[in-house]
């Protein structure tokens, strides 16, 4: 159980393109989803917390107009990188928790397989 599917696994596109990444919880309802970013040889850094039916909460330094997050249902959150540039190239990974709204529950997080984004 507790499977999180992330799609696509890899994207290569030209500078200026907008890219949408989907994160789905397949066998549980995810009231809260999280989006992380990982640069090569570094740890994962939380970008934002996504709550079903409400606005996402962004971490300090993350541009909300650049990284649009939508969590329209209990099983789907999307991250759209708008007008992507080479510096946005990174590994993006989502996680889902079945805990209460805002993540206010000590439930383990389950991770998708990640999306490797390359902007030319």
Of 82 and 89, the one with the shorter C-beta distance to other proteins is: 89
Nearest to 95 by CA among 28, 32, 43, 29: 32
Scanning the structure block, which residue is given the tokens 């990974």? Answer: 93
- Residue 83 CB, shortest distance to other proteins, in Å, is 25
Based on the shown chain and the rule CB under 8 A, indicate whether residue 114 belongs to the binding site for other proteins: yes
Q: Of 51, 75, 103, 119, which one interacts with other proteins (CB under 8 A)?
A: 103
In angstroms, the Cα distances linking 67 to 21, 47, 118, 120 are 11, 9, 15, 18
Chain positions 8 to 47 lying near other proteins, rule: CB under 8 A, are: 32, 34, 36, 38, 43-46
Min dist. Cβ of residue 105 to other proteins (A): 6
1 in contact with other proteins (CB under 8 A): no
CB distance 22 to 7 below 8 Å: yes
- 55-84 binders of other proteins (CB under 8 A): none
Distance (Å, rounded) from C-alpha 20 to C-alpha 28? 22
DSSP 88: G
- What residues line the site for other proteins (CB under 8 A)? 32, 34, 36, 38, 43-46, 49, 91, 93, 95, 97, 99, 102-111, 113-114, 116
């Amino acid at each position: 159980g507790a499977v999180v599917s992330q799609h696509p696994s890899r994207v290569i596109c030209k500078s200026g393109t907008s890219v949408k990444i989907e994160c789905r919880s397949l066998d549980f309802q995810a009231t809260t989803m999280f989006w992380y970013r990982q640069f090569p040889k570094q740890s994962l850094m939380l970008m934002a917390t996504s709550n079903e039916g409400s606005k996402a909460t962004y971490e300090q330094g993350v541009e909300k107009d650049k990284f649009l997050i939508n969590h329209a249902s209990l099983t789907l959150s999307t991250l759209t990188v708008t007008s992507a540039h080479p510096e946005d190239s990174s590994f993006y990974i989502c996680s889902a928790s079945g805990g209460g709204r805002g993540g206010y529950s000590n439930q383990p997080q389950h991770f998708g397989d990640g999306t490797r984004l390359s902007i030319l």
